[in-house]
Structure 1
Amino acid sequence: MIKITLPKSYYWYIIAIIVAPMLIFLEYMTGYICIILSGNTPRGISVNKYWQRQNIIITIFIILIALFEELIFRKIWFDILSSSFGFSILATILLTSLIYGLNHLYFGIYTVLQKIISGALLGTLFCLSGGSVAISFIAHGLENLLISVIGGEQ
């Protein structure tokens, strides 16, 4: 059974809300750097075509995906790697971030790199909040919601 704990302090919820746009910024910067390093010139900022023209049902689905990803990558994998296998917190964050990134391989290699970076931030947030998947979910779900809104406007 998965036990979900909520942080006792309200400031973790504020931090989760602040982290959401930071995740978007980090993903954009990672993509920008990848494009520069590949020898190309960035031609502006855009949202992946899969995020464009979303309706409310798909937006809700996207937020639910964030919930399941947080349960799998932050809660279940963290518990397995740190508790069952004795991995350090740093190794657990790095490994779960890598797997989380690879989970997005369908969207391309740049997206994998972007998601490794954002996965590391979500994993760190999860750890610092006392292992509260609710906090990493709020950040991740809000990130997805913001991207859905931005994508819908393109």
Structure 2
Amino acid sequence: MWSHTRSLDVLLLVTTVAPAELVRVATSFGPGGSGDRARIARSAGLGVPAAYLAVTGLGVALVLSTGGAPAYLDLRAAGPLWLLAAACAGCALVGLEFVVGAAPRVLRGTRGLRLAVQRGPGGAGPAFLASIVVTAVAEEVLYRGLWIGTLHERLHAPAWLAICCAAVGYALGHLFFGGLTVVQKLLSGGAFGVLLTASGSLAVPLAAHLAQNLTVYALARKQASAP
């Protein structure tokens, strides 16, 4: 039987798909409108993590008010082997995303491709590091803890379906950065979901996500210092 609580659970999922798009909407009302990509990029460094924190915080508050937090929000220690596996997976996902990103150019016959990462408008400084760390934490709480927890535990969806839905939501959350990024993040989101359900601890996909983002940060620093 469909209940008021289930309706709120579905509403939670629908309204938290792409917090970063709030930045695009907010900046579209300023000078230059939505076509001012430089201004939107400058706003992203602060706006994207702020949007994720706000949306995730509201999502957690809603879930707590309608029946308690899903077990997948548990950050209990997962053991050193799980954390090591998570760190390795996070680093490997950087390479996988590069392969996906390079595939269209390879198919067009482009040669001499170099690994490059997206950086914040202020470069690869402390602000960029803080932004990607905060965003990673908020994304894992939102898409893995809340999304998979809500779908699997509260709406009784199979684990594989919950993982897939959360991966799609996570990928769509990167529309702000372009269509190719959505495809890349679909794969990463699936991997993070598998790590969560296999380990039972949100700490594991969070460790993988942080390892991925810190690897990106290290590459961005190297890229910035290259002649």
TM-score by length of 1: 0.88
213, 216, 222: which one aligns with 1:144: 213
Q: Which residue of 1 aligns with 2:139?
A: 69
2:14 aligned partner: none
**Structure showing greater Rg:** 2
* 1:117 aligned partner, one-letter code: L
Residues 78, 51 of structure 1: alpha-carbon distance in 2 compared, 3 angstrom cutoff? farther
Per-residue CA distance 1:30-71 (angstroms, 9 max, x = gap) = 11223334x352532211243882212330231111000000
Cα distance, 1:23 vs structure 2: 1.1
Distance, in Å, in 2 between the alignment partners of 1:40 and 1:109 is 21
Partners of 2:119 and 2:128 within 8 A in 1: no
- Asked whether the 8 Å contact 2:78–2:199 carries over to 1, the reply is no
Q: Aligned residue pairs: how many?
A: 152
In the TM superposition, 1:3-152 aligns within 5 A as 3-37=73-107, 39=108, 41=110, 43-50=113-120, 53-130=123-200, 132-152=201-221
Cα distance in 1 for residues equivalent to 2:121 and 2:153: 36
Q: More relative contact order in 1 or in 2 (CA 8 Å, sep 6+)?
A: 1
Contact 1:54–1:152 (Cα < 8 Å) also in 2: yes
State the one-letter code of the partner of 1:147: V
> Does structure 2 retain, via aligned residues, the 8 Å contact 1:7–1:129?
no
The 2-side partners of 1:53 and 1:153 are apart by: 11
Unaligned runs of 5+ residues in structure 1 are none
Deviating more after overlay: 69-78 vs 24-33:
24-33
Shift in CA distance, 61/124, structure 1 to aligned 2, threshold 3 Å:
same
The one-letter amino acid paired with 1:136 is P
CA-based RMSD: 1.9
C-alpha contact 1:34 1:110 (8 A) present in aligned 2: no
Per-residue CA distance 1:61-116 (angstroms, 9 max, x = gap): 31111000000000000111111221111111111111101100111111100000
Please give the alpha-carbon distance, in whole angstroms, between the structure 2 residues aligned to 1:76 and 1:51.
30
In structure 2, relative to structure 1, the CA distance for the partners of 1:151 and 1:11 (3 Å cut) is same
| Alpha carbons 1:66, 1:140 under 8 Å: kept | yes
Instruction: Give 1:88's aligned amino acid.
Output: P
| TM-score, normalising length: structure 2 | 0.62
- What CA distance in whole angstroms lies between the structure 1 residues aligned with 2:115 and 2:79? 36
Gap runs ≥5 in structure 2: 1-63
